[in-house]
């Protein structure tokens, strides 16, 4: 069977190779500093085949990108950003300085939230992880103020009308109650900003602590806070299978 060519935009390919951002790549292209197979290319929408085309930037031939898939246990009070934060806020950039590839977070966690982040330079997979149409579930442990009653739990299962639309968890359950704090496990397949906190606030419960423990079949496990590790082949295959099954069955389309 003949291999199907997969073409990517030239600016994205340059970024994938770790040279610079897509925006800066566009500037290099417009300036005539990029060649493909020996020819100067100034067309911003130009596409290349990463497996056969030779891309040269300012006289330097780019090496084809090596995809990297990283799991990070983000601590509380770190920005999900690869640039330094304002007002002295730390970012996850400080935690992944020893990763040579330019990997980017597939999704976000709030500044005060902690737990699992997937970082990768595989843009296609990152998009599938974050896009709600694939309905990839994200699992959270949520500590809230007050005792969540069974009636409230049943109401949570039915969903809530938030200011930016209806939100319904894939599942929600009470893990334990200690004093005036309830620990819940909540699963959402979408990633609207502050969705877990806003959902809990709708029912009158303020979030004290939020931790993401899984993205699809990939679990945080015992990865220490602030540390990262490469995703195993088994985890990567399971993740791709979960996404492709959702896509195949047309879930969420």
- State which of 7-21, 86-100, 224-238 shows the largest mean pLDDT: 224-238
| Mean pLDDT for the stretch of residues 176-205 | 95
Going along the chain from its start, the domains and CATH numbers come out as 8-61 (3.10.290.10), 69-133+218-249 (3.30.70.580), 137-215 (3.30.70.1560)
Single out the catalytic residue among 110, 161, 164, 233. Answer: 110
Reported as a pLDDT band with limits 50, 70 and 90, residue 1 is very low
Model confidence at 2: pLDDT above 80: no
pLDDT tens-digit map of 115-167: 999 999 887 788 889 888 888 999 999 999 999 999 999 999 999 999 999 99
- Cβ-Cβ contacts under 8 Å for 69 (sequence gap 6 or more): 118, 119, 120, 122, 125, 230, 231, 236
- Picking from 230, 245, 159, 237, the residue whose alpha carbon sits closest to that of residue 200 is 159
Q: What is the DSSP letter of 192?
A: -
User: Known catalytic residue: 110?
Assistant: yes
pLDDT of residue 85: 66
Average pLDDT, the chain: 90
**CB burial readout 113-137, b (16+ within 10 A) else e:** bbbbbbbbbbbebbebbbeeebbbb
| Between residues 190 and 174, the one the model is more confident about | 174
Confidence check: pLDDT of 251 > 70? no
Q: Are strands 60-61 and 55-57 parallel, antiparallel or unpaired?
A: antiparallel
Secondary structure in 3-state letters for 41-98? CCCCCCEECCCCCCEEECCEECCCCCCCEEEEEECCCCECCCCCCHHHCCEHHHHCCC
Q: What is the pTM of this model?
A: 0.78
Q: Which of 3-12, 34-43, 124-133, 154-163 has the lowest mean pLDDT?
A: 3-12
């Amino acid at each position: 069977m003949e291999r199907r060519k997969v073409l990517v935009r030239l600016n994205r390919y340059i970024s994938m190779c770790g040279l610079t951002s897509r925006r800066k790549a566009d500037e290099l292209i417009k300036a005539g500093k990029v060649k493909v197979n020996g020819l100067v290319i100034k067309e911003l929408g130009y596409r290349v085949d990463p497996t056969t085309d030779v891309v040269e930037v300012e006289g330097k031939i780019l090496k084809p990108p090596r995809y990297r898939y990283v799991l990070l246990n983000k601590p509380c009070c770190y920005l999900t950003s690869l640039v330094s934060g304002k007002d002295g806020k730390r970012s996850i950039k400080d935690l992944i300085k020893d990763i040579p590839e330019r990997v980017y977070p597939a999704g976000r966690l709030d500044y005060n939230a902690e737990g699992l982040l997937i970082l990768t330079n595989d843009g296609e997979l990152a998009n599938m992880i974050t896009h709600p149409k694939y309905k990839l579930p994200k699992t959270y442990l949520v500590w809230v103020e007050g005792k969540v009653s069974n009636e409230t739990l049943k109401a949570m299962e039915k969903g809530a009308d938030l200011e930016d639309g209806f939100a319904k968890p894939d599942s929600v359950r009470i893990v334990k109650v200690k004093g005036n704090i309830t620990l819940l496990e909540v699963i959402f397949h979408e990633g609207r900003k502050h969705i877990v906190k806003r959902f809990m606030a709708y029912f009158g419960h303020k979030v004290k602590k939020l931790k993401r423990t899984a993205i699809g079949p990939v679990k945080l496990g015992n990865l220490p806070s602030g540390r990262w590790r490469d995703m195993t082949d088994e985890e990567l295959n399971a993740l791709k299978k979960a996404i492709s099954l959702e896509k195949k069955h047309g879930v969420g389309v």
